[in-house]
């Protein structure tokens, strides 16, 4: 028996040939037209059932949501909307779906709100919207690895559990710390180490950067791409407590090289999905157009989703220093008319997302790379500039998203790094291994962190980060 996926079947020219497809019934019209989807594509294969010659009991079990195995012959379709269809010979019901129960779920064939879909995160992948998002997410992830592999990078698998909290002071989830005076015990009286990390206080990583740096200083070009965790109480549409981060780190690269890398990388992966996710992008684009029609004219998108992606690939990101950005913001209308919640009138202030979005969406109208930030608002490991006030940091800001990348050239000088750590009360003992890299063959190096879900947000046109990861973790939400 030849099994075939729906995506391959829809592209097949083997008319009159027999195939077997397996999937879930999306709808069953007029006791005759079964729309079958197996997750391989947004499209369904139409399976035409000869209901007059089919067992009545079996016919009743072909319901939305049921898992079925269909064998039939591929024919050219007479109906509009599809090139081919399957003339069904046999249907095997693999798993029933009671229509009364289905009615109460998001499997029922109508457009549900995203909020409703979020409540049934375990079923939402069976909807068109989430099928499209999750296929695209997967392709994007593949493109990430492909880019680095093609460009001479090695993947460094940095740890998830870490003993240091230097980087994430106050924002780390603690794995545990064993109370040695009063350790938890198993039934047999032995110490229950599963309740802690063998007695050592540990945390979940907020970033693999420091470890990736040590690997760049041995393998040259590395990247890490894994889950990271932030115990920040952020209930925004851009923040998750668990998210995936892409972090390349390159020896002998300075800040300008780092910007070039980030821009080239983003363009590559966006180009990849434009080429490899056409059907899903078309679906998501149409969905956005429908959503847009409900909004007042002024709030509607000016570009279609794919136009937006093409635009990013075709245009240089605008590179602007922090100092220039402050001058622009200071003179901007919203700043003078107090339309910003936080007014920017002083050099040295941290930009809020409203300022970032103003620069990207109103002023430059393209992705922006902001660089050379004041040292005091950035992390200790960023390379101090000769002016003694700014660091070689860069943030990439995207339309509709805000910050998508945070990166920098790293401080390679041992004495400067130590001074910075001392000023912030970061004990040297904690990062002795990191400082070692500055003692033994230190060199200029740089890297960045890109939040994978923010990239997926941009590529799908979705607006809430909780809708681009299978099981979003955010304050109060980790039950399933």
Residues near Mg ion (CB under 5 A): 403, 406
User: Distance between CA atoms of 259 and 371, rounded to whole angstroms?
Assistant: 9
User: Distance between CA atoms of 140 and 276, rounded to whole angstroms?
Assistant: 9
243 touches which of ligand ATP, Mg ion, none (CB within 5 to 8 A by kind)? ligand ATP
**Applying CB under 6 A, does 453 fall inside the site for ligand ATP?**
yes
**Applying CB under 6 A, does 411 fall inside the site for ligand ATP?**
no
Q: Which of residues 431-450 bind ligand ATP (CB under 6 A)?
A: 449-450
Q: Which is nearer to Mg ion, 24 or 373 (CB)?
A: 373
Q: Which is nearer to ligand ATP, 280 or 403 (CB)?
A: 403
Interface pick for ligand ATP out of 130, 225, 243, 380 (rule CB under 6 A): 243
Interface pick for ligand ATP out of 406, 447, 461, 472 (rule CB under 6 A): 406
462 touches which of Mg ion, ligand ATP, none (CB within 5 to 8 A by kind)? none
In the block, residue with structure tokens 């992830």: 141
For the bound state, the minimum distance from the C-beta of residue 433 to ligand ATP, rounded and expressed in Å, comes to 21
For the bound state, the minimum distance from the C-beta of residue 474 to ligand ATP, rounded and expressed in Å, comes to 9
Interface pick for ligand ATP out of 124, 221, 230, 410 (rule CB under 6 A): 230
Interface pick for ligand ATP out of 132, 404, 426, 431 (rule CB under 6 A): 404
Q: Which is nearer to Mg ion, 228 or 335 (CB)?
A: 228
23 touches which of Mg ion, ligand ATP, none (CB within 5 to 8 A by kind)? none
For the bound state, the minimum distance from the C-beta of residue 454 to ligand ATP, rounded and expressed in Å, comes to 4
Q: Which stretch binds ligand ATP (CB under 6 A): 103-111, 130-138, 282-290, 397-405?
A: 397-405
**Applying CB under 6 A, does 454 fall inside the site for ligand ATP?**
yes
For the bound state, the minimum distance from the C-beta of residue 239 to ligand ATP, rounded and expressed in Å, comes to 4
Dihedral sign, CA of 429, 432, 435, 439? positive
Q: Which is nearer to Mg ion, 72 or 406 (CB)?
A: 406
Q: Which is nearer to ligand ATP, 367 or 406 (CB)?
A: 406
**Applying CB under 6 A, does 262 fall inside the site for ligand ATP?**
no
317 touches which of Mg ion, ligand ATP, none (CB within 5 to 8 A by kind)? none
Q: Which is nearer to ligand ATP, 208 or 406 (CB)?
A: 406
- The token pair at 466 is 């909780």
| Number of residues forming the site for ligand ATP (CB under 6 A) | 16
Q: Which is nearer to ligand ATP, 42 or 266 (CB)?
A: 266
454 touches which of Mg ion, ligand ATP, none (CB within 5 to 8 A by kind)? ligand ATP
**Applying CB under 6 A, does 467 fall inside the site for ligand ATP?**
no
For the bound state, the minimum distance from the C-beta of residue 403 to ligand ATP, rounded and expressed in Å, comes to 4
Specify whether the CB–CB gap between 269 and 455 falls below 8 A: yes
Q: Which is nearer to Mg ion, 216 or 450 (CB)?
A: 450
240 touches which of ligand ATP, Mg ion, none (CB within 5 to 8 A by kind)? ligand ATP
What is the SS3 string spanning the chain? CCECCHHHHHHCCCCCCEEEEEEEEEEEECCCEEEEECCCCCCCEEEECCHHHCCHHHHHCCCCCCEEEEEEEEEECCCCCCCEEEEEEEEEEEECCCHHHHHCCCCCCCCCCHHHHHHCCCCHHHCHHHHHHHHHHHHHHHHHHHHHHHCCCEECCCCCEECCCCCCCCCCCEEECCCCCCCCECCCCCECHHHCCCCCCEEECCCCHHHHHHHHHHHCEEEEEEEEECCCCCCCCCCCCEEEEEEEEEECCCHHHHHHHHHHHHHHHHHHHHHHCHHHHHHHHHHHHHHHHCCCHHHCCCCCHHHHHHHHHHCCCEEEEHHHHHHHHHHCHHHHCCCCCCCCCCCCCCCCHHHHHHHHHHHHCCCEEEEEEEHHHCCCCECECCCCCEEEEEEEEECCCEEEEEEEEECCCHHHHHHHHHHCCCCHHHHHHHHHHHHCCCCCEEEEEEEHHHHHHHHHCCCCHHHCCCCCCECCECCC
Interface pick for ligand ATP out of 240, 284, 360, 391 (rule CB under 6 A): 240
- The token pair at 307 is 């136009």
- List of residues contacting ligand ATP (CB under 6 A): 230, 234, 238-240, 243, 245, 403-406, 449-451, 453-454
């Amino acid at each position: 028996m030849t099994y075939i996926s729906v995506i391959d079947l829809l592209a097949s020219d083997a008319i009159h040939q027999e195939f077997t497809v397996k999937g879930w019934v999306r709808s069953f019209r007029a006791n005759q037209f079964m729309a079958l989807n197996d997750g391989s594509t947004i499209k369904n294969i139409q399976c035409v059932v000869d209901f007059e010659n089919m067992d009545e009991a079996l016919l009743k079990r072909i319901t939305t949501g049921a898992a079925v195995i269909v064998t039939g012959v591929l024919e050219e379709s007479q109906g509009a909307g599809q090139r081919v269809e399957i003339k069904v010979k046999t249907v095997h019901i693999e798993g029933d779906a009671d229509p009364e129960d289905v009615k109460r779920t998001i499997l029922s064939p109508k457009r549900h709100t995203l909020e409703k879909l979020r409540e049934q995160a375990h079923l939402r992948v069976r909807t068109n919207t989430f099928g499209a998002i999750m296929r695209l997410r997967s392709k994007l992830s593949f493109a990430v690895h492909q880019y680095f592999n093609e460009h001479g990078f090695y993947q460094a698998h940095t740890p998830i559990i870490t003993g240091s909290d230097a980087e994430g002071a106050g924002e780390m989830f603690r794995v545990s710390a064993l109370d040695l005076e009063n350790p938890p015990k198993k039934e047999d009286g032995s110490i229950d180490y599963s309740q802690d990390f063998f007695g050592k206080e540990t945390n979940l990583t907020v970033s693999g950067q420091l470890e990736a740096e040590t690997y760049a200083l041995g393998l040259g070009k590395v990247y890490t791409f894994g889950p990271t965790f932030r115990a920040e109480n952020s209930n925004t549409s851009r923040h998750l407590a668990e998210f995936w981060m892409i972090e390349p780190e390159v020896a002998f690269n300075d800040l300008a090289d780092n910007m070039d890398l980030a821009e080239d990388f983003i363009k590559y992966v966006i180009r990849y999905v434009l080429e490899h996710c056409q059907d899903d992008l078309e679906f998501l684009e149409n969905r956005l157009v429908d959503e847009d029609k409900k909004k007042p004219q002024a709030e509607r998108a000016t570009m279609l989703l794919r136009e937006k992606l093409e635009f990013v690939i075709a245009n240089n990101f605008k590179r602007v220093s922090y100092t220039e950005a402050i001058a622009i913001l200071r003179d901007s209308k919203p700043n003078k008319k107090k339309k910003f919640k936080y007014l920017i009138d002083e050099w040295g202030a941290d930009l809020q997302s409203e300022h970032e979005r103003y620069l990207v969406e109103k002023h430059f109208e393209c992705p922006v790379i902001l660089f050379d930030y004041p040292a005091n608002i950035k992390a200790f490991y960023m390379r101090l500039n000769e002016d003694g006030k700014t660091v070689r940091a860069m943030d990439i800001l995207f339309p509709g998203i805000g910050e998508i990348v945070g990166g920098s050239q790293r401080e390679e000088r041992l004495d400067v790094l130590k001074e910075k750590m001392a000023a912030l009360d970061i004990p040297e003992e904690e990062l002795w291994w990191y400082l070692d890299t500055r003692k033994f063959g230190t060199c200029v190096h740089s890297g960045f962190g890109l939040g994978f879900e923010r990239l997926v947000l941009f590529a799908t046109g979705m607006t809430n980060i909780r809708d681009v990861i299978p099981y979003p973790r955010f304050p109060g939400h980790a039950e399933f």
